[in-house]
Structure 1
Amino acid sequence: MLIEGYGHGPVAAGESLVGRRGFWANHLLAMCADGTCAGQADPEWFGGDGSDADALAEVLFDPGHWPVFRVLVPDGHPVPGVVVVYRNPVDEFGVDHLLGGPGANVGLSPALVSGLSWRELIRVADCPEPPADGLQDVSERFLLLLPLLGGVWSDEAVRERTAAALVAVGAPEGTVGRAAGHLLGHLERRALHDAGWVSPLSGG
């Protein structure tokens, strides 16, 4: 796999990791790094337990292996795809969201995506017949891109969609409401601190 701007990084397709226990705890609870948690989040809310999350973290954040997750769209789709790169140089970890573009050449662009409006997120996640490379499952596509949500949205719509997606990927139904609420709280606080946010894809 080649991504422009990452020529010296050991990037590799990471989609097979999405189905492993502990993945969603790592990916979604990264939003807690902003330090605004009202309460302690539990990895078990997202399926698996703390041990599963710790074990998978060693894979996701391995400096010798940078997982890439492709949320692709077909040619002619109104919104470009997004490629998520776990960039793991020693002591400089970060998650990059790259503008994928439509069709077979997605994932080759170094252009960063800073956010998606609710409409854009849904259009990318729900697009029919995505390319064979990359994630196919609608719930996985939605959750992978959820940390990018910005702009204005309906709390009820986001909460219901997030809860349903979490259940679909194996989160316990008994705590899914708490998990969805926790994530939505972080998204809302971030939106309040970025009132001038404008979608880089279509203007919001």
Structure 2
Amino acid sequence: MRIAGYGYEQEPLIDGAAFLDDPLFWPTYLSSMVTPEDDSLVTEAFGVEADDCYEYYARRLRDPDAWPVFQLGLRDGHEVNVVYFNVPREYFCDFLLCRPGGEHALRLATVGGHEMRPGLSWPELGTAAGFSGASLGVVAPNARLLLLLPALGDRDVPTEATARVAAALTSCGAGAKVDELAAHLLERLPRPPWRNVDGVRVSDGRYSMRNPDGGAGLSPADLREISTALAEIS
């Protein structure tokens, strides 16, 4: 795979879609959203052992010779790429908005390591997860929602969000206590407000790439492109 402008084109990026069928993928992926003390909420929901998730992460998802990439197609040909950044001793997930074919990568968020988030508001998450015209990568709405969930951060998450996340968890293999897990995952996320500035959706999160006043804020043109690509479809 290739993501032009990412800066790591020489690294072995691979299509991660096949990982979604692994019974250990989702509990391992979602464990990154909770503290080690709360791992049991995830592992019990999926009926797996924490040690198996740690081994799966180290052996499959953290491979420096194969960086899994999960592509989520959006309207206008844009796509979100969730990338496991696997430089030894620097492991995290990047959430990138790209133009068609992986061009002009814009970092929405980084989760784990040097975290820069949030990258998505709740309405944007719903729009991206529910887009039905995707012709590449991950197309199932529930899988798309869970893949994007770590990049979420919004003060105004509605009360029905817990039920929506719980339904996605169930669809992707969770069983026991999904409502409790869904509520906990949402509670662990940052909660800055979002606002519109000249038609561009921006975050007030201190470490958000989408905060035009923050030290890591993207350019006005990039912020506008992201906002347009993720805007609710009328």
d(CA) in 2 for partners of 1:182, 1:96 = 22
d(CA) in 2 for partners of 1:17, 1:129 = 22
- Which residues of structure 1 form unaligned runs of 5+? none
1:109 paired residue among 104, 118, 140: 104
2:24 paired residue among 22, 25, 46: 22
What CA deviation, in whole Å up to 9, does each residue of 1:39-78 have, x standing for no partner? Answer: 85342324533354234312011111100001112427xx
Matched with 1:152 is 155
Kindly provide the amino acid, as one letter, of the partner of residue 186 in structure 2: L
Matched, 1:124 2:125: no
Number of paired residues? 192
d(CA) in 1 for partners of 2:32, 2:25 = 11
Kindly provide the amino acid, as one letter, of the partner of residue 3 in structure 1: I
C-alpha contact (below 8 Å) 2:154/2:192 kept by paired residues: no
Q: Which has the higher strand share?
A: 2
d(CA) in 1 for partners of 2:92, 2:167 = 28
Task: Return closer, same or farther for 1:202/1:192 CA change in 2, 3 Å cut-off.
Answer: closer
Matched, 1:202 2:217: no
Moved over 6 A (4+): none
Matched with 2:33 is 31
The root-mean-square deviation of aligned C-alpha atoms, in Å, is 2.7
TM-score of the aligned structures, taking structure 1 as reference length: 0.82
- Which residues of structure 2 form unaligned runs of 5+? 110-118, 195-202, 211-222
Per the TM alignment, residue 26 of structure 1 is displaced from its structure 2 partner at its CA by 1.7
Matched with 1:91 is 89
Task: Return closer, same or farther for 1:26/1:119 CA change in 2, 3 Å cut-off.
Answer: same
RCO (CA 8 Å, sep 6+): is it higher in 1 or 2?
1
Task: Return closer, same or farther for 1:111/1:39 CA change in 2, 3 Å cut-off.
Answer: closer
Matched with 1:61 is 62
TM-score of the aligned structures, taking structure 2 as reference length: 0.72
